[in-house]
């Protein structure tokens, strides 16, 4: 058991370091997947079978797929924007803060009066952490948190649709009219509106690639979301 613990802990820590240190966000996501699976194995060592499986299915499965989609959508343009431009001073400060935080946490964890921390834990039966036990607890003792969590999920789903919906920044008037009988792929359309062609090949297929160094700010200023107010609207006094 000790051997397995060290293997999984080292893999989990390596995954965490990868998330922090890798430059490409896509590799960061993959590194987090490794970390999450190692963490699920650590949960198994703590005899939390249901949480371990939920971790793999929900996190490493569903949430990470969401991340991969967004990274492919947002970071696929390969903009020459450095992700790691923090100054050396800021980085040194952050690392110093992290070390201080770890020392503080270690003192807090190891300096407690909890005698059982240096044991293997209480004696538990075979059904400890099994789906049956967790399910019974969720539907009896913890029914209210369970329902609140379901409402939270509903609110998050509605919020995500409202946030990522097609309304923002692109009015209907600005959409180019598609040709009636023609090549829909080659029809003119604004850059980065999430078309399939851009998703497959990045910028520059249906529209020329914007030069991020030069005209990014210009583009931003002329975009519809900074359009001046109509003249009938009086500015508030």
Site for another protein in 151-180 (CB under 8 A): 152-153, 155-157, 159-160, 162-164, 168-170
Asked if residue 118 binds another protein (CB under 8 A), the reply is: yes
Other CB atoms within 10 A of residue 114 CB = 10
Q: Which residues in 7-36 contact another protein (CB under 8 A)?
A: 9, 12-13, 16-17, 19-20, 25, 28-29, 32, 35-36
Indicate the residue among 62 and 179 with the shorter CB distance to another protein: 62
Q: How far apart are CA 237 and CA 234, in angstroms?
A: 8
**Which of these segments, 69-77, 176-184, 195-203, 229-237, binds another protein (CB under 8 A)?**
69-77
Alpha carbon 210 to chain centroid distance?
A: 27
Nearest to 207 by CA among 191, 222, 193: 191
Two structure tokens written together for 177: 């009219």
Least distance from another protein to the Cβ atom of residue 124, Å: 5
Indicate the residue among 122 and 200 with the shorter CB distance to another protein: 122
Nearest to 33 by CA among 51, 10, 50, 58: 58
- The residue within the footprint of another protein, chosen from 214, 225, 230, 236 (CB under 8 A), is 225
Asked if residue 67 binds another protein (CB under 8 A), the reply is: yes
Asked if residue 53 binds another protein (CB under 8 A), the reply is: no
Q: Which residues in 181-220 contact another protein (CB under 8 A)?
A: 192-194, 216, 219-220
Residues 6+ apart with CB under 8 A from 89: none
- The residue within the footprint of another protein, chosen from 7, 61, 78, 86 (CB under 8 A), is 86
Burial class (CB in 10 A: 0-12, 13-18, 19+), 29: buried
DSSP state of 46: T
- The residue within the footprint of another protein, chosen from 41, 60, 134, 206 (CB under 8 A), is 134
Identify whether the C-beta of residue 45 lies closer than 8 Å to the C-beta of residue 4: yes
């Amino acid at each position: 058991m000790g051997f397995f613990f060290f293997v999984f802990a080292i893999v989990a820590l390596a995954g965490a370091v990868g998330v922090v240190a890798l430059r490409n966000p896509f590799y960061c996501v993959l590194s987090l997947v490794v970390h999450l699976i190692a963490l699920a194995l650590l949960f198994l060592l703590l005899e939390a079978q249901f949480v371990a499986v939920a971790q793999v299915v929900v996190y490493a499965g569903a949430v990470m797929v969401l991340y991969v989609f967004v990274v492919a959508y947002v970071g696929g343009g390969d903009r020459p924007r450095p992700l790691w431009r923090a100054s050396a001073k800021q980085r040194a400060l952050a690392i110093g803060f992290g070390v201080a935080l770890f020392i503080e946490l270690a003192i807090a964890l190891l300096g407690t009066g909890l005698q059982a921390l240096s044991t293997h834990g209480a004696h538990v039966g075979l059904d400890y952490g099994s789906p049956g036990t967790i399910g019974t607890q969720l539907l009896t003792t913890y029914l209210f948190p369970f329902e609140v969590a379901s409402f939270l999920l509903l609110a998050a789903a509605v919020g995500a649709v409202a946030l990522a919906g097609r309304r923002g920044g692109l009015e209907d008037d600005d959409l180019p009219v598609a040709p009636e009988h023609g090549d829909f792929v080659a029809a003119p359309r604004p850059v980065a509106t999430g078309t399939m062609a851009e998703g497959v090949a990045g910028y520059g297929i249906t529209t020329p690639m914007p030069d991020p160094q030069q005209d990014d700010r210009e583009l931003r200023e002329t975009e519809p979301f900074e359009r001046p107010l109509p003249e009938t609207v009086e500015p508030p006094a």
